[in-house]
Amino acid sequence: MSLTRKRKKELQRLRSSAQDLWGQQQLLLDQANAVAREASRQAGHLTREHVAPAVRDSFSSYVRPGFDASQRMAGSARDRFVGDVIPAVGTAIGTAMTVVDHARDARARTVVQQQVPKKLAKKLAPEKSSAGLGTYVAVVLGVVAAVGVLYAVWQTFRADDELWVADETPPAVPEGE
């Protein structure tokens, strides 16, 4: 394809202005990158100097007291459970076992037979029966409840040294960066 001299000059000028525009765009992008780097550095300084201390102070004044209060409440609940509930459950079980022992005792049965008329004694005397499904379900539920109580006590008294990590201050960064 053959071009006229005039077209060649126009194309040369167009190419030259396109190269100038490309160079100007490269300079603009370099300046924009420098501004973005400086903004990022300043944001890091702002975060270290203002945001991190504000977050740390907010944590200390809002979250930490609630955490401490929940720990105190859990300790109080554990003390109440160990001091009140477990002895009460033990007393109830002991009383029930004593009543069952007395009911099975031959001496108590003879006293009842001597003092109570025979018709009433037959009504009060328990009928001998084999262990039914309800007995087995009650035993299984009792074992499950005992295992649950033992697990709760174990969880309460185990060492929780690894659960809390102390706050660390970030290392100081030199101002030259």
Q: pLDDT class for 31, splitting at 50, 70, 90?
A: very high
**The predicted structure's pLDDT at residue 11:** 92
For residue 40, give Cα distances in angstroms to 29, 36, 37, 43. 16, 6, 5, 5
Which of 32-46, 56-70, 72-86, 145-159 has maximum average pLDDT? 32-46
SS3 track for the chain = CCCCHHHHHHHHHHHHHHHHHHHHHHHHHHHHHHHHHHHHHHHHHHHHHHHHHHHHHHHHHHHHHHHHHHHHHHHHHHHHHHHHHHHHHHHHHHHHHHHHHHHHCHHHHHHHHHHCCHHHHHHHCCCCCCCCHHHHHHHHHHHHHHHHHHHHHHHHHCCCHHHCCCCCCCCCCCCCC
Contact assessment for residue 147 and residue 76, using Cβ atoms and an 8 Å cutoff? no
Copy the structure tokens of residue 57: 């102070």
- 117 versus 152: the higher-pLDDT residue is 152
**Amino acid at residue number 109:** R
Report yes or no on whether pTM surpasses 0.85.
no
pLDDT for res 20: 94
Average pLDDT, the chain: 81
- pLDDT at residue 34, rounded to an integer: 94
